[in-house]
Amino acid sequence: MTSKPATYLDYNATAPIRPEARDAVLRAFELAGNPSSVHAAGRAARDVVETARKAVGELVGVVAGSVTFVSGGTEANVLAIDSAVASGVKRIVVSAIEHDAVVETAAASGVSVSVLPVDADGVADLSKLSELLAGEGRTLVCLMLANNETGVIQPVAQASAIVRAADGLLHVDAVQAAGKIAIDFSALGADTLALSAHKIGGPQGVGALVAGTRANVVRRQHGGGQERGRRAGTENVAGIAGFGAAAVAALRDLPQAADQGIWRDALAQRVKDAGGVVLGEGAARLPQTLCLAAEGFASQVQVMNLDLAEVMVSAGSACSSGKVKASRVVEAMGRSDLAPFALRVSGGWASTEADWIVCGDAWLAAWKRIGARRREVA
């Protein structure tokens, strides 16, 4: 008996590892050396790290020296915010749709935090930014490049112009945008930018903080002088090797990344025809992310029904404990009514048109069953 392969459309949670990244990880495991050692084995490990640094830099248009390797997107965000606070910022502005890593680090930073609202499509409302930047001392603004739940792309370059005019700093969480749309760090006008390997087809547990000349990266953990004193601890050589290989492949595949948008939109149409809603549809979005909602069809019920059909997707917001909570992002968009019903479908480098169709079939079948049951009860 041949079994149908499962359909994986949860790339915004973690992308499957790319073959190039897996190979690079395995090759790196064969190296014995510590990249800080001066002998041949150490130099070979150092070479792997520096080759990867160059590749990760190229993904976002910066030189290798701007890249600090860390343990993932979370740490990159934490390092950026803590560094800005250590450098003397007096206030932090976070958009209403930032990842918990940003929201909670800002909240724990000890400086005052204000929230930049988003409009009904989930786009940051920049008309409010100047007023939030006003006041004594410097402000750090955190605005992600693309949202993890809706895929909505944020007006980062426009925000940067406002932030610069007020002599503020801008941190950009580009964890979800990387590898899905082209990124040019200078054109964005960011001071710091967070990346994560496992969202682009690299291994989990490795990421990078990109820092421009205005940012001062201040080490958070003390120890050795690795990463030019910015992040102590022996580098995750294999993880970094995989990150570098994934960055090369992601940059190479960018022209094809837009294909997902056609397949995504076809599924969106089927959902809308059946009475569902697509969130953020009026804004520019990552081509491979779909956030949908259907009133009465709870997020976790959708996830479970699709899982039974061997289709893997996420609730709008699944926290690390695996519990599903109402989507904070959908609430910020003024759709609290839909927040308990949000579902995120996200494809990526290995997704096919068939995956999106299978997902649509499974979703529609489940939605029909739910509708029939609701009619029976009524």
- Residues with catalytic annotation? 319
Nearer to ligand PLP, 203 or 261 (CB): 203
By CB under 6 A, is residue 344 in contact with ligand PLP? no
Cα angle for residues 117, 187, 14 (degrees, 5° grid)? 65
Q: Does position 285 bind ligand PLP by CB under 6 A?
A: no
* DSSP calls for 130-172: HHHH-SSS-EEEE--SB-TTT-BBP-HHHHHHHHHHTT-EEEE
Question: Is residue 249 helix, strand or coil?
Answer: helix
Work out whether 72 is an interface residue with ligand PLP (CB under 6 A). yes
**In the complex, what is the shortest distance from the CB of residue 207 to ligand PLP, in angstroms, rounded to a whole number?**
5
d(CA 208, CA 193): 8
Q: How many CB atoms are closer than 10 A to CB 296?
A: 12
Q: Does 148 bind ligand PLP (CB under 6 A)?
A: yes
Q: Which residues of 184-214 are buried (b: 16+ CB within 10 A; e: fewer)?
A: ebeebbbbbbbbbbbbbbbbebbbbbbbbee
Interaction of residue 196 with ligand PLP, rule CB under 6 A: yes
Interface residue with ligand PLP, options 74, 150, 236, 288 (CB under 6 A): 74
Q: How far apart are CA 154 and CA 285, in angstroms?
A: 9
Strand blocks (E) in 235-366: 277-278, 289-293, 311-312, 314-315, 342-346
101 is a contact residue toward ligand PLP (CB under 6 A): yes
Residues 207-246 that bind ligand PLP (CB under 6 A): 207
Q: Interface with ligand PLP includes 48 (CB under 6 A)?
A: no
Q: Does 176 bind ligand PLP (CB under 6 A)?
A: yes
Q: Is 144 in the site for ligand PLP (CB under 6 A)?
A: yes
Looking at 60-68, 69-77, 178-186, 299-307, which segment touches ligand PLP (CB under 6 A)?
69-77
Instruction: Find the part of the chain contacting ligand PLP (CB under 6 A) among 171-179, 233-241, 246-254, 322-330.
Output: 171-179
Q: Could you say whether residue 298 binds ligand PLP (CB under 6 A)?
A: no
What is the rounded distance in angstroms from the CA atom of residue 367 to the CA atom of residue 378?
A: 16
Nearest to ligand PLP of 53, 99 (CB atom): 99
DSSP characters over 176-227: TTTTTS---HHHHT-SEEEEEGGGTTS-SS-EEEEE-TT-----SS-SS-TG
Measured from the CB atom, the residue of 219 and 344 that comes closer to ligand PLP is: 344
175 lines the binding site for ligand PLP (CB under 6 A): yes
Of 51-59, 66-74, 179-187, 232-240: span binding ligand PLP (CB under 6 A): 66-74
Q: For residue 7, what is the enclosing H or E element?
A: strand 7-8
Comparing C-alpha atoms, which of 82, 97, 90, 168 is closest to residue 129? 168
Q: Which of 10, 20, 173, 191 binds ligand PLP (CB under 6 A)?
A: 173
Minimal distance, residue 175 CB to ligand PLP, in Å? 4
Binding interface with ligand PLP (CB under 6 A): 72-74, 77, 99, 101, 144, 148, 173, 175-176, 196, 198, 207
